[in-house]
Amino acid sequence: MTDDQPLPPRVRDLIDDYLDGTLDNAGLKELEADLESNAAIREYFARYVGTHVDLGFELAARAATDRTLVQLRSTSESRPPRRLVAASLAIGLVAGGVVGLFAAPARSDAPAAIARSLALDFRTPRAGTLADAEGRGTGFTQRLPDTGGGLQSNDANLRLVPGGGLAVTATNSDLNTRFRLDQGEFPGVRLSDLGFTGVEDFEVAFTAAVIPALGFVGQFGVYAGVGSDWTVRGGLVSERKPDSFRQFVVNTRDGRDKDTLFIGLGSPGDNLRMALSRIAGKYTVAVENRTSGATTTLATRHPEFLEGRADLVVGLYAADPRGKEPTAFTFSGFTATVWVPGEKRR
Amino acid sequence: MDILEHPEQPTEEFTRLLQQSRGRLFSYIYALVRNLTDADDVFQQTALTLFRKFDAYDPSRDFLRWACGFARLEAAEFLRTRARDRLRFSDPLTLALLEAFAEVPEVEATNRQATLPGCVDKLTAADRKLLTDCYQTGADVNVVANRMGRPPRSVYNSLRRIRRALFECVERTIACENRSER
């Protein structure tokens, strides 16, 4: 074969199979032999792969542009107070991520919607839900798919506290790199049970009163995802110094943490509310220190992989990948809310 | 969660060279690991290694070849530790491919990238939709095929037809531009 001759169809098929991940061992050997013996095939391969990669970036850029335009249109047409959120998104698309420190969008001026909520105060066992160590229903109906598969039906890491509250023991697990997720504690609920169809605004939140020290990168927070590999989550992550946390938000893409944003946090306080919300399509994580009254909100690169997904599971989690001792958080309340279009929000 | 700390700042020269080579370096890494997310990880790791080793870089050498040498090692380590089941090329072939990727001139790589959007616009709406479904979210082709009610093989075949059409469109456009410049 020379530069003027087309590549044999068989070689082109082998290259496509290789890129698609459908090549078997025998095919790989055949392709290797072709590539090793012929510089023209190697040149073609380099250019073809280059176009393949360019295509991935081009499509990602198109999708991001479309989403931004939709966001900006909906913001300017019906949600003026949220321009700051949309502007943050636009900047984020250019910079690859954005830290937004702004007040949480006020609900009073929001467009018509009905709030459908599930609220748990953990005061009364709820039959037929995930059971704690003593078999009492916690109220959570789901786990994030692909997590907690190795936990017992009476989960020793969950314990309803007399008088109200749920103690959750952080396990040695991490969504990043799929580390020991069979032990991962990611209890939650399915948003579709509240009328979610993939497009509505929603919020998942908890309040916590007991925040123990964790090992480095130990963390707790809120999540929304369709499985352990594809989630957005945020919360507080422990630094090396004991009792020192940073607030973060991160997308987990194909089992790896991406688009991570951090911000220093003086103290979480001893009465904390944390919320992950999707408002006008924009995801943010807010941490309200009810001791000091301060709220910080982080917005991250849009997790486009959750776009239009009706099968979202949302919940809370506690993980201590490098922890040596079991440590338990006490959550005093949990809410999941979906705003279904139709009437004014209350 | 990876928490990286980098007290030093890259020099302007390092930044310029990396930016100039990043497209071809990323393509080379992708050719070895075949997954955009994984290629992104390996690229970042490679960039950190290049930054740390930059003092040892000989400016008379081609930066891309130097960078691809480290990328090759990072990709091999990645495949060995985190993608053991994935088929991979032999070491001698990854070296030969390094040369092939490094020989694509920067200007050509830039032109090819600039040409692609026009070629994507020429696709049918159905073909663009299929590309978006399969590429945009990194979705498994089997899942997309299931959602569409089509056999996976049929979707793979459609994807390769579209990819080849795009590749040929880019090749033709570049060739035309080269002819008209002469």
A248–B1 CB contact, under 8 Å: yes
Better pLDDT: A89 or A259 = A259
Please give the Cα distance from B32 to B86 (Å, whole number): 10
Q: Do the bridges between strand A256-265 and strand A282-289 make them parallel or antiparallel, or are there none, so unpaired?
A: unpaired
Distance from CA of A109 to the nearest CA of B (A): 33
Domain finish residue from A38, A54, A78? A78
Domain finish residue from A24, A49, A78? A78
Please give the Cα distance from A205 to A198 (Å, whole number): 19
Considering only CB atoms, A46 lies closest to which of B36, B100, B159, namely: B100
- pLDDT score, position A110: 43
What is the pLDDT confidence band of residue A73, given thresholds at 50, 70 and 90?
Answer: low
- pLDDT score, position B9: 58
Domain finish residue from A25, A48, A78? A78
* A155 & A217 share domain: yes
* A184 & A321 share domain: yes
What letter represents residue A49's amino acid? V
Residue A92 has pLDDT above 60, yes or no: no
- A42 domain residue, yes or no: yes
- pLDDT score, position B6: 41
- pLDDT score, position B52: 86
User: Residue B6 carries which DSSP code?
Assistant: -
CB distance A35 to A42 below 8 Å: yes
Long-range contacts of B172-181 (CB under 8 A, 24+ apart): B173/B115, B173/B118, B173/B119, B174/B108, B174/B111, B174/B112, B174/B115, B177/B111
Least confident of A265-274, A275-284, B106-115: A265-274
Please give the Cα distance from A39 to A131 (Å, whole number): 63
- A1 domain residue, yes or no: no
Residue B4 has pLDDT above 70, yes or no: no
- pLDDT score, position A344: 41
* A179 & A312 share domain: yes
B1–A32 CB contact, under 8 Å: no
Q: Which residues of B touch A51 (CB under 8 A)?
A: 112, 116, 163, 166-167, 170
Chain B: residue whose CA lies nearest to A58: B117
CB distance A121 to A335 below 8 Å: no
CB distance B52 to B8 below 8 Å: no
Kindly list the structural domains of chain B, giving each domain's residue range(s) and its CATH number in brackets, ordered by start: 12-102 (1.10.1740.10), 106-181 (1.10.10.10)
* A72 & A145 share domain: no
CB distance A10 to B69 below 8 Å: no
CB distance A151 to A140 below 8 Å: no
A276-289 confidence digits (pLDDT tens): 999 877 888 888 88
CB distance A232 to A303 below 8 Å: yes
Q: Calculate mean pLDDT across residues B178-182.
A: 68
Q: What are phi and psi of B119, to 5 degrees?
A: -70, -40
The reply to whether A322 touches chain B by the CB within 8 Å rule is: no
User: Residue A91 carries which DSSP code?
Assistant: H
Nearest to A219 by CA among A155, A262, A277: A262
- pLDDT score, position A326: 80
Q: Calculate mean pLDDT across residues A59-84.
A: 55
* A227 & A300 share domain: yes
Residue A101 has pLDDT above 50, yes or no: no
Q: Name, in order, each residue with C-beta under 8 angstroms of B84's C-beta and a sequence gap of 6 or more.
A: none
B100–A260 CB contact, under 8 Å: no
Q: Name, in order, each residue with C-beta under 8 angstroms of A31's C-beta and a sequence gap of 6 or more.
A: A11, A14, A15, A18, A23
The reply to whether B121 touches chain A by the CB within 8 Å rule is: no
Structure-block tokens of residue A72: 């900006």
The percent of residues in chain A predicted with pLDDT above 70, rounded, is 80
The reply to whether A257 touches chain B by the CB within 8 Å rule is: yes
Considering only CB atoms, A304 lies closest to which of B41, B87, B136, namely: B136
CB distance A319 to A174 below 8 Å: yes
Question: Which residues sit opposite A297 in a β-bridge?
Answer: A286
What letter represents residue A52's amino acid? H
- A84 domain residue, yes or no: no
Q: Which residues of B touch A33 (CB under 8 A)?
A: none
- pLDDT score, position A69: 63
Q: Which residues of B touch A35 (CB under 8 A)?
A: 89, 93, 96-97
* A67 & A105 share domain: no
pTM of this prediction?
0.52
* A14 & A112 share domain: no
The ipTM assigned to this model is 0.90
Considering only CB atoms, B109 lies closest to which of A12, A50, A63, namely: A50
B138–A254 CB contact, under 8 Å: yes
* A171 & A225 share domain: yes
Q: Name, in order, each residue with C-beta under 8 angstroms of A305's C-beta and a sequence gap of 6 or more.
A: A226, A230, A251, A253, B137, B138, B139
* A74 & A124 share domain: no
A279-324 confidence digits (pLDDT tens): 877 888 888 887 777 778 888 778 888 988 889 999 999 998 887 7
B30-42 confidence digits (pLDDT tens): 999 988 878 888 8
- pLDDT score, position A5: 60
Better pLDDT: A95 or A141 = A141
User: Residue B87 carries which DSSP code?
Assistant: -
CB distance A206 to A223 below 8 Å: no
Q: Give the mutation candidate from B4, B6, B32, B87 for the A interface (greatest A CB count, under 10 A).
A: B87
Q: Which residues of A touch B34 (CB under 8 A)?
A: 18-19, 21
Chain A: residue whose CA lies nearest to B83: A177
Q: Calculate mean pLDDT across residues B87-116.
A: 92
Tally of domains within chain A: 2
Q: How far is CA A103 from CA A106, B83, B111, in A?
A: 8, 43, 44
The reply to whether A60 touches chain B by the CB within 8 Å rule is: yes
* A208 & A125 share domain: yes
- Boundaries of domain holding A52: 9-78
Distance from CA of B85 to the nearest CA of A (A): 11
Q: Calculate mean pLDDT across residues A207-231.
A: 87
* A281 & A162 share domain: yes
Residue A79 has pLDDT above 70, yes or no: no
* A55 & A118 share domain: no
- Other CB atoms within 10 A of residue B140 CB: 13
Q: Name, in order, each residue with C-beta under 8 angstroms of A57's C-beta and a sequence gap of 6 or more.
A: none
Question: Which of A84-98, A158-172, A253-267 tops mean pLDDT?
Answer: A158-172
* Strand spans (E) along A148-244: 158-160, 166-169, 187-190, 201-210, 219-227, 230-238
B1–A54 CB contact, under 8 Å: no
Angle at A245 between CA A277 and CA A286, to 5 degrees: 15
Q: Give the mutation candidate from A23, A53, A261, A305 for the B interface (greatest B CB count, under 10 A).
A: A53
- pLDDT score, position A112: 54
- pLDDT score, position A204: 95
Residue A256: give its domain's CATH number. 2.60.120.200
Q: Do the bridges between strand A187-190 and strand A201-210 make them parallel or antiparallel, or are there none, so unpaired?
A: unpaired
A139-168 confidence digits (pLDDT tens): 999 999 999 999 999 999 999 998 889 999
Q: Which residues of B touch A7 (CB under 8 A)?
A: none
- pLDDT score, position A294: 74
A254–B160 CB contact, under 8 Å: no
- A87 domain residue, yes or no: no
